[in-house]
Chain A
Amino acid sequence: PPVFLLADVEVMRGRRHSDMPRPQWLPNAEPCARPGKSGPRARFDQSPACPLAAMVWSIAAVCRSSRTTGAAWRQACRAFSSDPGIQASRPDEREAMEYDVCIVGAGPAGLSAAIRLKQLAKEKEQEISVCVLEKGSEVGAHILSGNVFQPKALDELIPSWREDASCPIHAVPAVKDRFYYLTPRRALRMPTPPQMHNKGNYVISLSEAVRWLGAQAEEAGVEIYPGFAGSHLLTSASGACVGVGTGDMGIGKDGTRKDSFAPGLDLRARVTLLAEGCRGSLTKEALKRYSLREKAGADPQTYALGLKEVWQIDPAKHEPGTVWHTLGSPLPWNTYGGGWLYHMADNRVSLGLVVSLDYSNPNMNLFQEFQQYKRHPAIARVLEGGTCLQYGARTLSEGGIQSIPALTFPGGALIGDGAGFLNVPKIKGTHTAMKSGMLAAEAAAAELAKEPTAAGRALDLGAYETAMHDSWVHTELHRERNIRPSFGLGAGIWGGLLGSALEAYVLRGKAPWTLRHRRPDHEALAPAAQAAPREYPKPDGSLTFDLNTSLFRSGTNHEHDQPPHLRLRNAKLPEAINLPRYGGPEARYCPAGVYEYVPSEHGGQKLQINAQNCLHCKACDIKDPTQNIQWMVPEGGGGPNYTIT
C-alpha cells in the first residue's frame, strides 16, 4: 500500500544518490538485489530500482491510491495487526465507545485541550464528552523535560493556578540565568541571550506539573485512561478520521493470544486530537495519510535528543531558581546541542544534554556524551556528594516554524510537540504546546456546537489553523525562525553563534529571508569510514554511570511476553547497511540500550533488539539512516515511569 511508499518519497528527496547502494526499501525485500529483480516477492508492489523512476512510480501509486476504499486504508495503517503472524483482534471482537472528542496523549497539550473543552462546555452549556488516552502507566509517566516553565498559556487556561496550594509549578521561580561556553576544563561566562532571560518563569518538574494538570482535568469531568495506547486511527470510507483504536493486550511474543488476551477498543470521536509529543506514532500515520507536510510545503522536521537526570545534591550547593545553559564541550564544533542545569525544589537539580539528531558522526554515543558532560568540572562540582534519582531521555522537535505541517485533517488535528511548536532558542515547548491545545479545543467546541448531533460528516478544524497563525505562538516562532538553521550553514557552532547573535540583537526576526532545513536528520549521518572515533572513559559509579544502572532509574518496564514494538521493515538491512556502512549507529544513539550487535551463529554480528528497555524517546525512528526501524506503540502501561523529570 502506498503508505510505505510515501515514506520512500520523503527518504529519496534530496539524497545523494551516489552514496547509496541501489536500495530495495520495500518491506520483506532482499537488500541490494539486482535492479529490476528480487528474491522473495515483496509483499507490496515493487517499485523500480532506479531512484528517480521509483519516485515517479511512488507518486503515481499515491494518485492511484486516492481511489482506494476506506477499508484498504484501515488495513494499510494497521501495520501491526496486518502482520499475519499476530493474532490481532478482529473487528467483530472489538467494542466501540463514542465520545465527542478523543485526545491521544495526556501531556501539556492534550490536557490543556481537555480542560479548555470542559471550560467551554460549561460556559456555553454544551455537552462535550472528552476522553484522553495515555500510553503510560499513569499521567506523567512518560513526561520528561528540562523544564523552566513559561506560564503564559497557563495564565490564560487556569488564571488561579498561583493560588492553588497543590500546584507544584509556582514553588521555585527562576531567579538567576547563566550562559556558559564550556571548554574541556573551563566554563566561560557569556552574555545571556535575550531568549534565555527567565524572569517570570518557574523551574519545575514537568512530570509533576502534568500530574497536577491531569487532576484539574479529571475534576472538570475529563475521562483520562492511563495504560491505554492508541494504536491506529479509525477512518471512514471517505478517509476522514473518525477516532482512535486502542491496542490489543495479552498477545504473546510469538503473536499468539495468551489467556489474558483483551481486545482493544474503538474510540469513535467526532474530533480526534493527536497530542503524542515529538514523533508520535499516530501523528506519523496522520502526516502520511493526509500528506500534511506536503500540503503546507513544510520542511522536513528536524529533531534533537535530550538526555536528563535528576539529582539530589548537597543542600549547601543548592540554589533554588538558578538556571544554567551551556554550549560547547563535550559536543564537537559541528554538532548542535547544549546542556542545562536547573536548581529545582527539595535540594534537587535537573541537568541534561540536548544533542541535535542531524549530527554526522556515527561514532557519537549520545548516552556517553551526556556522562561526559557531567564530568566537566563546573557540573561535577555541583553534583559531588549528591545522589542520582532518575534518568530518562526524549526527543524534541527543533524545526520551528519552517517544519510545521498542515495542522488539521478531516476529523482531527495535531497539537503540541507532535506538530512541532517548540521555541528552539528558548528551548521551551510547553507553553506553545498548551496554547495549541487550547486553540484546538476552541475550534473543536465551535464545530461541535454547529452540528449538535453526530451528522456523519467529518468536522473541519480549519479555524484552529487560522487561530494558531494569528496567535502569539506564531509571532514567537516566526521571530526565532532563523536561529537554529544558522547552525547548519557550514561553520557549525561558530557560524551559529554569530548568526544567532545577529538575529537576536540586530535583526530580531525581521530579516527578509527564512533559512530552511534541507534534509531530514537520518540523511545526515556520514559513513563510519569517514568519521572520527570518539573516546569515552569508563563510568565511575558515583558521578557517571553505566547504561543499565541509569535504565533502572528510569523505572522503564514492558510486559516482556509481547511482540517487539520496534519493527524492522527489512530484517536484513542492519547487517547489510547499518553495520558495515555506519558501524551500527543505533547501538550508540539509543539512550536505552535497546539495540545491540551481538555475535551471530555464522560468524559476523546480528542486531538484537531489547525492546523491553525502550524509553519511548523515538530517536531510532528518527535517526535510522535507512528509516528501517519503525517505532510502534507497545502494550499500554509499558515504558518509563518518570515521576520527577
Chain B
Amino acid sequence: MRVLVAVKRVIDYNARVRVKPDKSGVDLKNVKMGMNPFCEIAVEEAVKLKEGGSASEVVAVTIGPKAAGDTLRTALAMGADRGVHVLEDGEVQPLAVAKLLAALTRREEATLCMLGKQAIDDDSNQTGQGLAGLLGWPQATFASKVVVDREAGRASVTREVDGGLETLSLKLPAVITADLRLNEPRYATLPNIMKAKKKKVDTVTAQELGVDITPRLKLVKVEEPAKRQAGVMLSSVKELVDRLRNEAKVI
C-alpha cells in the first residue's frame, strides 16, 4: 500500500505575525516558516504505518515555491521515502491543492492519502474533504486514531467530533486527515536529516499535471482582531440591567 502525505509550508506556529499596513495580508518578510503542525502529525502517522508493515512506501508531496523544498526534506527526514515538489510560486487555494493532489494520487497509484486536518495559516479545513470528493474515495477527517487492516482492505478511524469520539470503518482506498491527538511527531534527528538529502525528490508543475490552479477566491481585507476593551466594574444588578438594556441593547 502506497501512502501519499501532503505537507504545507506555513508560518511557524510560534512566530509573531503582523498585518501589513495596507491590510492586504500578513507581513511574511523575515517571518520564520515551518511545516504545518497537522501535516507533521500526518507524516508521523504515515511513517508509523510503514514501520508497522501496513504501508510499503510513503511519498511526501508539497505545493509551493522553491523554499517549500525544505519542508519536503523535513518530511523525508521524518521517514518518508521519496518526495514530489509541485513548484508553484503564486497562491494555490484549497480547491486547487485538492485537484493537484488528486492528479498526483492517480499518478503515484497511492491507496491512502494522509493530510493534516487544516493549515494554521488559512484554517480552511477543506483540502482533505475536497480531495476525497474529487477522487470519489471515502474520507475520515479529524482522526485521533487510525488502524489499518491490509488483508481486509479496510481502515478503522476514530474521529474527534463535537459530540465526542466517532469510529468509522472505511474501505480503502481512502483519505484521512489528522487531528492533534493522533500521535506525537518524532524529532528529525541529524543522521536522518543527512540521509534525507539523498532521497529522491521529483519536481513537477501544475501545468504538467494538467491542473488549472487559478484562484477562485479573492482576499478582500485582512485586519487585526479588535483590541479587547477593559471590563467595567458595576455596583448593582439594577445598573447591570440598565446598561444591558440601554447601552448594549441586548435586552
Chain B residues with CB under 8 A of A552? 16
| Chain B residue at minimal CB-CB distance from A133 | B190
Chain B residues with CB under 8 A of A259? 184
Near A by CB (< 8 A), chain B positions 95-133 give: none
Other-chain contact of B194, A97, A390, A643, A644 (Cβ < 8 Å): A97
Q: Is the CB of A641 within 8 A of B14?
A: yes
| Chain B residue at minimal CB-CB distance from A208 | B30
> Bound state CA distance, A258 and B32, in angstroms?
27
> Bound state CA distance, A262 and B187, in angstroms?
7
Q: Is the CB of A389 within 8 A of B18?
A: yes
User: Assuming the A-B contacts A97-B194, A641-B32, A643-B32, are A249 and B18 also in contact, with contact meaning beta carbons closer than 8 angstroms in the complex?
Assistant: no
- Residues of B in contact (CB 8 Å), total 17
User: Assuming the A-B contacts A137-B32, A260-B184, are A265 and B189 also in contact, with contact meaning beta carbons closer than 8 angstroms in the complex?
Assistant: yes
Near A by CB (< 8 A), chain B positions 182-198 give: 184-187, 189-191, 193-194
Other-chain contact of B31, A97, A260, A265, A643 (Cβ < 8 Å): A643
Q: Is the CB of B30 within 8 A of A643?
A: yes
Whole-angstrom distance between the Cβ of B229 and the nearest chain A Cβ: 14
| Chain A residue at minimal CB-CB distance from B185 | A260
Q: Is the CB of B186 within 8 A of A262?
A: yes
Assess whether A197 is interfacial by the CB under 8 Å rule: no
Assess whether B15 is interfacial by the CB under 8 Å rule: yes
Whole-angstrom distance between the Cβ of B73 and the nearest chain A Cβ: 12
Assess whether B88 is interfacial by the CB under 8 Å rule: no
> Bound state CA distance, A413 and B184, in angstroms?
39
Assess whether A246 is interfacial by the CB under 8 Å rule: yes
> Bound state CA distance, A211 and B32, in angstroms?
11
Whole-angstrom distance between the Cβ of B223 and the nearest chain A Cβ: 15
> Bound state CA distance, A557 and B193, in angstroms?
23
Chain A residues with CB under 8 A of B30? 208, 211, 643-644
Assess whether A225 is interfacial by the CB under 8 Å rule: yes
> Bound state CA distance, A259 and B185, in angstroms?
9
> Bound state CA distance, A267 and B194, in angstroms?
12
Chain B residues with CB under 8 A of A553? 16
Q: Is the CB of A228 within 8 A of B190?
A: yes
Give 1 or 0 for each of B11-37: 1 = CB within 8 Å of chain A CB.
010111010000000000011100000
Chain A residues with CB under 8 A of B190? 97, 225, 228, 246, 265, 267
Assess whether A155 is interfacial by the CB under 8 Å rule: no
Chain B residues with CB under 8 A of A643? 15, 30-32
> Bound state CA distance, A260 and B44, in angstroms?
11
Give 1 or 0 for each of A624-643: 1 = CB within 8 Å of chain B CB.
00000000000000000101
Interface centre among B12, B16, B193 (most CB of A within 10 A): B16
User: Assuming the A-B contacts A97-B191, A208-B30, are A641 and B186 also in contact, with contact meaning beta carbons closer than 8 angstroms in the complex?
Assistant: no
> Bound state CA distance, A590 and B19, in angstroms?
31
Assess whether A555 is interfacial by the CB under 8 Å rule: yes
Assess whether A276 is interfacial by the CB under 8 Å rule: no
Chain B residues with CB under 8 A of A208? 30
Chain A residues with CB under 8 A of B194? 97, 223
> Bound state CA distance, A555 and B190, in angstroms?
24
Chain A residues with CB under 8 A of B189? 249, 262-263, 265
Return the 8 tightest CB-CB contacts between A and B, nearest first: A643-B30, A262-B187, A265-B190, A249-B187, A262-B189, A95-B191, A557-B14, A260-B184
